[in-house]
């Protein structure tokens, strides 16, 4: 019985030791926790890298692909590749009154906002 009590006290003591201010969530943006780096390969990544834009680093394009994997289905990703190849096509889709184009544009716009927020500092 004494062993159980001693073990319980030891567990409670150990559990209360964690959580110092160095590791509190308030310090997450002060460098104590490394921010996760998103990276994936796929059609958006390949199109982004091959676009030969100055800011299109492999790391940033991989991050953008990871966000695309979270927010766009495969068909929308394939369609989005065309926008990297022909940026004017984005304007045509945005101005189109076609329901499919409107749905795609809303999804693409949300994806772009999420990618900018997630990958802007990569």
> What is the tens place of the pLDDT at every residue in 54-111?
999 999 999 999 999 999 999 999 999 999 999 999 999 999 999 999 999 999 999 9
What pTM, to 2 d.p., does this model score? 0.70
Is residue 96 included in any domain, yes or no?
Answer: yes
Contact 62, 41 (CB under 8 A): yes
Is residue 6 included in any domain, yes or no?
Answer: no
Domain containing 56 equals: 36-122
Is residue 109 included in any domain, yes or no?
Answer: yes
Determine how many CB atoms are found less than 10 A away from the CB of residue 119.
21
In whole angstroms, what is the distance from residue 84 CA to residue 105 CA?
14
- Name 56's Cβ contacts closer than 8 Å, sequence gap at least 6: 48, 49
Is residue 43 included in any domain, yes or no?
Answer: yes
Q: What is the pLDDT of residue 33?
A: 72
Tell whether the model's pLDDT for residue 4 goes beyond 60. no
Q: What is the pLDDT of residue 29?
A: 54
Is residue 3 included in any domain, yes or no?
Answer: no
Angle at 49 between CA 67 and CA 104, to 5 degrees: 45
Q: What is the pLDDT of residue 10?
A: 41
Is residue 56 included in any domain, yes or no?
Answer: yes
In whole angstroms, what is the distance from residue 10 CA to residue 87 CA?
63
Q: Name the residue with higher pLDDT: 13 or 114.
A: 114
* Cα 84 from chain centre: 19
Is residue 75 included in any domain, yes or no?
Answer: yes
Number of domains forming the structure of the chain? 1
Q: Name the residue with higher pLDDT: 7 or 95.
A: 95
Q: Name the residue with higher pLDDT: 6 or 38.
A: 38
Is residue 1 included in any domain, yes or no?
Answer: no
Tell me the per-residue pLDDT of 29-40, one tens digit each, with 9 for 90 and over.
Answer: 555 677 778 999
């Amino acid at each position: 019985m004494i062993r159980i009590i001693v073990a319980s006290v030891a567990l409670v003591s150990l559990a209360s030791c964690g959580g110092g201010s160095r590791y509190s969530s308030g310090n997450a943006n002060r460098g104590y926790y490394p921010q996760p780096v998103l990276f994936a390969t796929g059609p958006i990544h390949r199109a982004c890298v091959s676009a030969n834009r100055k800011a299109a680093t492999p790391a940033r394009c991989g991050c953008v692909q990871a966000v695309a994997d979270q927010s766009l289905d495969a068909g929308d990703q394939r369609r989005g590749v065309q926008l990297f190849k022909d940026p004017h096509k984005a304007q045509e889709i945005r101005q189109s009154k076609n329901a499919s184009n409107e749905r795609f544009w809303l999804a693409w716009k949300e994806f772009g906002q999420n990618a900018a927020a997630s990958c802007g500092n990569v």
